[in-house]
């Protein structure tokens, strides 16, 4: 059970709830703040004060005062009019993360929403009622209005939702989960959809997976270094101390440890004094991407415990302030940066694959790593696939945050496009998993062609990586269908199987 205070949610909590269906509850301390803010809203409505989104319209209609008799209808109309999403539905783990992040945002007590409404969101998670949310429609300011509106439709008994795998109407899903629909009152519609929770959810999950990719990039590098009879002096601690980027130092240290004791990857080579950049400069490349991951992790950690609603209520000071905390620019820039960093991991991995399969570059191994070339193509086309994927990533890595299309009749005249940044990042992460899967498979084949005794000649960590590959994928002796093996290796990466074994060294 994860207790939500609004202040201490972390990345692991998000994954626990989104992927592993951990249950949640609101902390008692948060409930007090939620109630205070709600009382403040009720007081403002009673006094008839003009407050954006409470007694006025939205966006360009912020200058339209709403009569007391229409304040309730205003909130329902907001949700219905804003649920204009299109495209494929977001995966259930993303929608669950969105709900979790919205609850945590509201739990801080600056939004003026009733506790019963937040509890309804809690119950959606705990009973695994997953709203159907199309992935297109958000421009990332005022937050992720469109996708969040699709979630809110469900608690109103509208829209669509999944329950035990079946796609039902919102009302049917609530009934199956033994819940009743809720009618929104003043400020609640706006409080539920004004925020960055779609981009933060997508980005948080992609960030979590990116951390695993950084580890596996070093694992694939180590095994390729072994298969290519590489030179390990480029990973010597002394040179990396002179350029003390944390990621670079970590990557070099990891590869040193993995290849320790190797008879294949050696400190000095009699015939070559240095390797190509994809090996020799890998700590610098991998390390820069590691540092990017850590930078974006800082952004995410701040965002998931921040308040991104508008307007914000300060009951103790009797203030209501209309501002712009919903603007997704911090996330949009961060996700574009991370997309480029992860994409670079795919780029350098594909170049190592190309070197491994090229008989003129792989330091004495057979062309395409097949003993019977001509009759067999070996891993020729595996490199094609990797090349295709990294080419796609180069398109996806173009930033979305540098574009802005004004909305709401130029009232909202600069937007972040952070939802697009986060969606592209998700796709790049999935693509790089496939490229690293190909590298690990091809590198294991190179090792088998390099030595008859892999378990004797490999380094202490490379041995574990090699054995993990070979537990699922046999040495290639003649051509066979390879796509299931790439997918199998990708699953091993996703589950962190190698990391668990390496950490137990």
- Host H or E run for residue 160: strand 160-163
The residue with tokens 């193509």 is 377
Cα→Cα distances 295→212, 246, 432, Å: 16, 12, 20
The residue with tokens 């378990």 is 455
Beta-carbon contacts of 277 under 8 Å, excluding residues fewer than 6 positions away, are none
Phi, psi torsion values for 376, nearest 5 degrees: -115, 145
Closest CA to 296 of 343, 335, 268: 335
Per the CB < 8 A criterion, the answer to whether 72 and 185 are in contact is yes
Closest CA to 163 of 154, 150, 76, 83: 154
Q: Pinpoint the alpha helices (H) of 451-479.
A: 454-457, 460-472
Q: At what angle do helices 92-106 and 197-227 cross, to 10 degrees?
A: 130
Given the residues 52, 208, 219, 337, the one annotated as active site: 52
Tell me if residue 52 is catalytic.
Answer: yes
Beta-carbon contacts of 169 under 8 Å, excluding residues fewer than 6 positions away, are 158, 159, 160, 161
Which DSSP state fits 194?
Answer: S
SS3 144: coil
Per the CB < 8 A criterion, the answer to whether 195 and 309 are in contact is yes
Per the CB < 8 A criterion, the answer to whether 2 and 24 are in contact is yes
SS3 186: coil
Take residue 296 and report the two structure tokens written for it: 């974006």
Active site positions, annotated? 52
């Amino acid at each position: 059970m994860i207790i939500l205070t609004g202040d201490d949610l972390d990345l692991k909590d998000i994954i626990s709830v989104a992927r592993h269906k951990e249950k949640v509850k609101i902390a008692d301390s948060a409930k007090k703040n939620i109630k205070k803010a709600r009382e403040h809203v009720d007081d403002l409505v009673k006094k008839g004060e003009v407050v954006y989104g409470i007694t006025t319209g939205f966006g360009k209609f912020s200058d339209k005062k709403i009569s007391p008799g229409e304040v309730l209808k205003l909130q329902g109309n907001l949700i219905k009019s804003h649920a204009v999403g299109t495209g494929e539905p977001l995966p259930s783990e993303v929608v669950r993360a969105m709900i979790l992040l919205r609850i945590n945002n509201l739990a801080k007590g600056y939004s003026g929403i009733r506790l019963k409404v937040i509890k309804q969101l809690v119950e959606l998670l705990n009973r695994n009622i997953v709203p159907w949310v199309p992935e297109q429609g958000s421009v990332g300011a005022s937050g992720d209005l469109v996708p969040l509106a699709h979630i809110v439709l469900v608690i109103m008994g509208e829209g669509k939702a999944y329950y035990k795998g079946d796609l039902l109407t919102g009302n049917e899903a609530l009934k199956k989960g033994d819940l009743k629909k809720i009618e929104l009152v003043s400020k609640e519609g706006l409080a539920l959809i004004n925020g960055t929770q779609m981009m933060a959810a997508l980005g948080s999950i992609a960030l979590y997976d990116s951390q695993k990719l950084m580890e596996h990039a070093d694992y694939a590098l180590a095994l390729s270094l072994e298969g290519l009879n590489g030179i390990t002096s480029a990973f010597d601690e002394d040179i990396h101390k002179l350029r003390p980027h944390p990621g670079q130092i970590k990557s070099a240290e990891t590869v040193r440890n993995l290849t320790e004791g190797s008879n294949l990857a050696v400190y000095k080579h009699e015939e070559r004094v240095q390797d190509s950049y994809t090996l020799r400069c890998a700590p610098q490349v991998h390390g820069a991407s590691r540092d990017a991951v850590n930078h974006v992790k800082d952004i995410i950690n701040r965002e998931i415990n921040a308040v991104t609603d508008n307007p914000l209520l300060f009951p103790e000071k009797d203030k209501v302030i209309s501002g712009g905390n919903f603007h997704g620019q911090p996330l949009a820039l961060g996700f574009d940066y991370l997309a480029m960093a992860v994409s670079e991991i795919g780029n350098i991995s594909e170049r190592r694959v190309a070197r491994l399969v090229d008989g003129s570059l792989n330091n004495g191994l057979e062309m395409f790593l097949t003993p019977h070339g001509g009759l067999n193509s070996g891993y020729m086309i595996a490199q094609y696939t990797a090349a295709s994927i990294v080419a796609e990533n180069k398109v996806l890595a173009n930033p979305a945050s540098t574009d802005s299309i004004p909305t709401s009749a130029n009232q909202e005249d600069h937007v972040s496009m952070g939802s697009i940044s986060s969606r592209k990042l998700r796709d790049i992460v999935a693509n790089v998993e496939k490229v690293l899967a190909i590298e690990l498979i091809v590198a294991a084949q190179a090792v088998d062609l390099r030595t008859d005794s892999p378990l004797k000649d490999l380094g202490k960590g490379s041995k574990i990586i090699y054995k993990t590959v070979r537990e699922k994928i046999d040495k290639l002796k003649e051509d066979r269908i390879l796509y299931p093996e790439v997918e199998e290796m990708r699953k091993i990466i996703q589950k962190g199987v190698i990391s668990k074994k390496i950490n137990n060294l």
